[in-house]
Amino acid sequence: MHIRAEALILSIRAHGEHGAVVRALTREHGVQPGYVRGGRSRRVRPILQPANLVLGEWRARTEEQLSSLTVELIHSRAPLFAEPLPAAVLDWATVLTTAALPESQPFAMLHDALTGLFEAIEAAPAARGWATALVRYELLLLAELGFGLDLESCVVTGATDDLVFVSPRSGGAVSRAAAGDHAARLFPLPAFLRVGGAADWPNILAGLRITGHFLERDVLVDKRAEALSSRSRLIDRLKRAVA
């Protein structure tokens, strides 16, 4: 097995005295794990940072064997970890992607969306500049894994107008008329999730509440502790930043 491709570093785990097992997301080959010899060395450690873009080369004698991996740095995002909010969102996005995606299956749209999120964080470290991209990335991840939300029509009546809620059970949109007395049990549906564009903080947080609910219920079932603690840190920092 031989793969040579650009990749986004997702996770790094120490292995042995000097090495590291690295997972990285490629566009054509999905998440690929590999063993980096000397991955904990002073020379290589700065390259193996979450969200960094690298040129990776994976080699293995069989498909079952953990590949050896060599990396060359293309673009470092390490400076973003000096700021609390960018650090928190980079940590969450890479932890989520590592936990959610099966290895060796291509998810080109997710790769491109994650790249776009990272670029948005670099372009505008203030959270308002990238928060909507994060919500859309989470929505796309749900959809790519088969848990997409249906926000185009009312799950109760089929209506396409006045869709203002989301059912926490079905993930479908609900119109104001259909909600009736059950409105308090539904999630408010922020308009930007359906029509795009910018959003204010109440709508951004409402969007994150929706995606968080379905990620926890449907995707992170067996991997909740680490992933959701990372997300909780991000949400807490966002709330403090906009308070």
pLDDT digits (tens, 9 = 90+) for 2-42: 999 999 999 999 988 889 999 999 999 999 999 999 988 88
Beta strands 163-166 and 187-188 are antiparallel
Question: Residue 58 is which amino acid?
Answer: W
The phi, psi pair for 171, rounded to 5°, reads: 75, 15
- H-state helical runs in 74-155: 84-100, 108-123, 131-144
CA–CA separation, 192 vs 144, rounded Å?
20
The pTM is what? 0.94
pLDDT value at position 243?
Answer: 75
Residue that is written with structure tokens 């400076």 in the block: 79
pLDDT value at position 197?
Answer: 86
In tens, the pLDDT along 113-141 reads 999 999 999 998 778 889 999 999 999 99
pLDDT value at position 120?
Answer: 95
CATH number of 79-149+183-242: 1.20.1440
Asked whether residue 241 carries a pLDDT value surpassing 90, the answer given is: no
**Angle CA(29)–CA(10)–CA(36) in degrees, nearest 5?**
80
CA–CA separation, 52 vs 90, rounded Å?
10
CA–CA separation, 39 vs 66, rounded Å?
15
CA–CA separation, 211 vs 216, rounded Å?
9
Q: Read off the pLDDT of each residue in 66-93 and give the average, rounded to a whole number.
A: 96
Q: Read off the pLDDT of each residue in 165-170 and give the average, rounded to a whole number.
A: 97
What is the assigned CATH class of domain 2-76? mainly beta
Q: What is the mean pLDDT of the chain?
A: 94
CA–CA separation, 208 vs 211, rounded Å?
5
CA–CA separation, 179 vs 187, rounded Å?
11
Domains 2-76 and 79-149+183-242 share a fold: no
| Percentages (nearest 5) of helix, strand, coil residues in the chain | 45, 25, 30
Q: Read off the pLDDT of each residue in 195-202 and give the average, rounded to a whole number.
A: 89
pLDDT value at position 2?
Answer: 93
CA–CA separation, 137 vs 135, rounded Å?
5
Question: Hey, where are the domains in the chain?
Answer: 2-76, 79-149+183-242
Q: CA of 6: how far to CAs of 30, 85, 95, 98, 115, in Å?
A: 11, 26, 19, 17, 12
